[in-house]
Amino acid sequence: MSENSSSIRSICVYCGSQPGRSPVFVEAGRKLGTAIAAHGLRLVYGGGTKGIMGAVASGVMAAGGKVTGIIPEFLVDMEATRHSLGQLDELIVTENMHERKHAMFERADAFVTLPGGIGTLEEIVEIMTWGQLGRHEKPMVFANIEGFWDPMLDLVSHMREQGFIHRAHLVQPMVIAEVEDIVPAILDRIDELNNGKEGEEAIISRL
């Protein structure tokens, strides 16, 4: 596991608590987890130990990485087992979904969305909404495994073309099909953001 020198410390991963019908989805989750650990980053995720969620977490832990699981009490027995949750190096149990989502946002420096269902979709759309409202500039990635997110991305394009996404320049998630390209792309985006801010500060200091 390499030491990460960037200002980024953690990546939040949204994904399904089910494995999906293609084995490629679970394998993608495991590979992403391995990559997160290899870059010295912490995984922040929804705490589930089943499906793609479990694959991401196991990928991180098998590679010696750190995992923060955040899960509402009522989902503990639905999306995880208490024994498996005990293997995480940090576990946060919230009272409800709202607290869970807020805690995940606060602890994450970037967001990756793997295949998943309605809950996964709702989570990343909320992050995109907060970006549109100028509440954050954290990198967002659709891990478009086997084109899974194509219908969603087409819908977003349609909404933009019809004039319903204002400040569209603030809603520009990266779309990446290959898992091994995701973490490097996030690090590059973080560097771009940091360099841009440094440039702005230098200009202001000369005024």
Query: Higher confidence at residue 38 or residue 1?
Result: 38
- Parse the chain into domains and list their residue ranges: 10-206
Name residue 141's beta-bridge partners.
112, 174
Sequence-separated (6 or more) residues with CB below 8 Å from residue 116? 14, 15, 16, 17, 52
Q: Which of 123, 183, 178, 108 is nearest to 147 (CA)?
A: 178
Mean predicted confidence (pLDDT) in 22-48: 97
Give me the helices (H) in the chain, please.
23-38, 51-62, 76-79, 82-85, 97-107, 118-132, 150-161, 182-206
Among the four given CATH numbers 3.90.1150.10, 3.30.420.10, 3.50.50.60, 3.40.50.450, the one describing domain 10-206: 3.40.50.450
CA atoms within 13 A on the CB side of 30: 11
d(CA 57, CA 68): 9
Q: What is the pLDDT of residue 120?
A: 97
Q: Looking up tokens 């973490």, which residue turns up? A: 183
pLDDT tens, residue by residue, 59-89? 999 999 999 999 999 998 888 777 888 889 9
What pLDDT is attached to residue 197?
Answer: 63
Residue 10 corresponds to which amino acid? S
CA distance 60 to 57: 5
